């Protein structure tokens, strides 16, 4: 007789408990089934009608996916039972405990879809760990299956067992354009107006507003720099850091598995005022050295040496302040990684290109004046 163990961590009667009871009612009696539940869980009475199943209460696992004490308690029970299959549901402690039991096959079922841009680094690490601990991961719908594959889980690890949920259907931009063409205003009855709304319309509106904010931010920074430096060319030199920041943002989002969404755009707008700081520090010191009698080349070299540590320290402290947000909430991940990688690339390229561009502009202006 095959021994099967189910591990539930709910102290209340949740979806996993209801599914398990309905499923076990129709399981043939030639399986030796044991259900491990938390102490003082409502599941004990709820599952008590399953006379062919043994129910064991385990401490330290109540409403917790992970608990070191829970791992030790579960391992003690599993070592005694020696099951052939362990279905851990949402219990990471159960997967760890089952992994060290010899000749035990570990199953992990996934019922929900996680957004691809939700804490991408943490999500990918979690999927790597779960793939290592689980012999198979059961996806209960096509949507969950596709989501796990997109998250980096190997198809060889996945088993699709649909629970009746239809796969998610998304429409391409071409499809949406065709729908709009089919319902053009010329074909509508007189007095009828057609408006498109929803997520796409909201995203387009928000991106339009952010783009206006981006242009306004660049203009304001340019005005402030012009007044500060009493020059037109030097603000333009400083603003060349903005394309560098954009390069960093794109690469950062690609590396971390994020999309260029609304919050990433917010990070890009915020970079307008932050990315120029390093260039301001460099050019201001070059101007000071030249006013003290330094030649152009010597002033650029000395500014690079003297301001290297302050520029690096400013960037590192800013990144250190933003980094915890990247792993805290999904809404902050795009914003944080956009800022972090934008600043990193801007700092590196600023130390190389800004002095070069400054030297070229100044030399050309001298040549024209002569």
Specify the residue for token string 């209801």. Answer: 18
Q: Quick one: tokens of 165?
A: 């949920």
Q: Greater confidence, 220 or 115?
A: 220
Q: Which helix (H) or strand (E) holds 157?
A: none
**Is 244 in the same domain as 317?**
yes
Q: What is the pLDDT of residues 236-245, one digit of tens each?
A: 888 888 888 8
- Do 248 and 317 touch, CB atoms closer than 8 A? no
Structure tokens at 264: 């990433």
Q: Residue 260 corresponds to which tokens in the numbers above?
A: 């260029």
- Token pair of 356, please? 């070069």
Instruction: Please answer whether residues 154 and 131 qualify as being in contact, where contact means their C-beta atoms are separated by less than 8 angstroms.
Output: yes
184 in a domain, yes or no?
Answer: no
What are residue 8's phi and psi, to 5 degrees? -115, 140
Residues 153 and 208 in one domain: no
Residue 93 domain boundaries = 2-160
41: which DSSP letter? -
Burial class, 137, CB count within 10 angstroms (exposed 0-12 / middle 13-18 / buried 19+): buried
Per the structure, the count of domains in the chain is 2
Q: Judge if 129 and 276 occupy the same domain.
A: no
The residue from 160, 188, 223 where one domain ends is: 160
Q: Is residue 136 part of a domain?
A: yes
Q: How far is CA 29 from CA 33, 175, 218, 264, in A?
A: 9, 51, 72, 55
For residue 177, tell me if it sits in a domain: no
- For residue 220, give the CATH number of its domain: 1.20.1640.10
Q: Which residue has the higher pLDDT, 341 or 176?
A: 341
| pLDDT at position 122 | 62
Give the ranges where the chain is alpha helix by DSSP (H). Answer: 15-24, 43-46, 68-81, 92-99, 120-133, 142-150, 173-182, 199-229, 233-239, 241-256, 262-274, 276-291, 296-326, 330-369
Phi, psi of 13 (to 5 degrees): -90, 100
- For residue 245, is it within any domain? yes
Which CATH number does the domain housing residue 112 bear? 3.40.50.2000
Q: What are phi and psi of 169, to 5 degrees?
A: -115, 125
204 and 142 housed in the same domain: no
Verify that 208 and 257 share a domain, yes or no: yes
- Give domain status of residue 207, yes or no: yes
236 shares its domain with 111: no
Note the pLDDT of residue 67: 87
Residues 235 and 93 in one domain: no
Tens-place pLDDT, residues 208-234: 777 888 888 889 988 988 888 888 888
Residue 335: closest CA among 263, 260, 268: 263
Tell me the pLDDT of the chain averaged across its residues: 82
pLDDT value, residue 165: 47
Give residue for tokens 């035990």. Answer: 104
In a domain, 337, yes or no: yes
Q: For 170-212, write each residue's pLDDT tens digit.
A: 667 787 778 777 777 667 777 777 776 665 566 666 777 778 8
Give the global pTM.
Answer: 0.50
154: helix, coil or strand?
coil
């Amino acid at each position: 007789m095959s021994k099967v163990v189910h591990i539930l961590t709910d102290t209340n009667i949740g979806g996993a408990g209801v599914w398990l009871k309905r499923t076990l009612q129709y399981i043939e009696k030639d399986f030796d089934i044991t259900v491990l539940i938390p102490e003082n869980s409502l599941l004990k009475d709820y599952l008590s009608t399953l006379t062919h199943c043994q129910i064991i209460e385990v401490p330290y696992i109540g409403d917790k996916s992970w608990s070191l004490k829970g791992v030790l308690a579960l391992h003690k029970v599993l070592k005694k039972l020696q099951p052939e299959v362990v279905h851990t549901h949402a219990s990471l402690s159960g997967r760890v405990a089952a992994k060290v039991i010899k000749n035990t096959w570990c199953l992990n079922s996934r019922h929900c879809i996680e957004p691809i841009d939700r804490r991408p680094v943490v999500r990918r690490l979690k999927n790597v760990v779960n793939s290592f601990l689980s012999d198979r991961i059961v996806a209960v719908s096509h949507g969950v299956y596709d989501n796990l594959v997109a998250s980096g889980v190997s198809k060889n690890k996945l088993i699709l067992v649909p629970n009746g949920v239809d796969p998610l259907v998304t429409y391409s931009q071409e499809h949406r354009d065709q729908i709009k063409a089919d319902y053009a205003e010329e074909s509508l009855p007189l007095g009828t107006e057609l408006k498109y709304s929803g997520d796409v319309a909201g995203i387009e509106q928000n991106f339009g507003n952010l783009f206006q904010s981006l242009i306004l931010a660049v203009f304001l920074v340019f005005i402030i720099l012009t007044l500060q430096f009493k020059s037109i060319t030097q603000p333009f030199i400083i603003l060349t850091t903005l394309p560098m920041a954009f390069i960093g943002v794109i690469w950062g989002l690609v590396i971390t598995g994020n999309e260029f969404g609304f919050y990433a755009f917010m990070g890009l707008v915020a970079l307008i005022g932050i990315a120029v700081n390093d260039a301001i520090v460099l050019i201001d010191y070059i101007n000071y050295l030249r006013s003290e009698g330094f030649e152009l080349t010597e002033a650029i070299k000395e500014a690079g040496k003297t301001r290297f540590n302050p520029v690096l320290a400013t960037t590192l402290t800013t990144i250190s302040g933003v980094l915890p947000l990247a792993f805290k909430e999904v809404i902050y991940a795009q914003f944080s990684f956009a800022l972090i990688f934008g600043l990193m690339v801007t700092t590196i390229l600023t130390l190389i290109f800004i002095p070069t561009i400054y030297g070229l502009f100044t030399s050309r202006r001298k040549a024209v004046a002569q």
